Amino acid sequence: MSDAVRVLVVEDEALIASFVEDALSDGGFEACSVHSGKEAMSTFCDGREGCRVLLTDINLGDGISGWELARQIREITPGFPVVYMTSASAPDWQSQGVDGSVLIQKPFAPAQLAAAVSQLLDTGASPA
């Protein structure tokens, strides 16, 4: 499993995070899960986890949103692949999402999640 692409998963709800981790594993990816934008920035900046994709919920409770998290990561690493997960914030994607990102709406099937991550990695960033 050490050759699997690592995905930085940011989800504040434990059950959803577990579902996402399983879906990524089934799709051949490895999840590195955190529960807040602050934890995600720390993990990303630390770099030890070697994550190559950001998969983030939009509404992360207190602190920064998934929109802001993706913008901060893109300031550090332009073009970093971003997949957003949301149930309520999808209409804001065009104005708030970073260029070349992908959005999947909750609820989604596990295969949709792996396909979204694969799409970004296979094509680089495709237009939003």
Spell out the per-residue pLDDT of the chain, length 128, in tens.
458 899 999 999 999 999 999 999 999 999 999 999 999 999 999 998 899 999 999 999 888 999 999 999 999 999 999 999 998 899 999 999 999 999 999 999 999 999 999 999 885 544 44
pTM above 0.85, yes or no: yes
How distant, in Å, are the alpha carbons of 1, 26, 60, 103, 126 from that of 112? 21, 11, 21, 11, 16
How much is the pLDDT for 123? Answer: 59
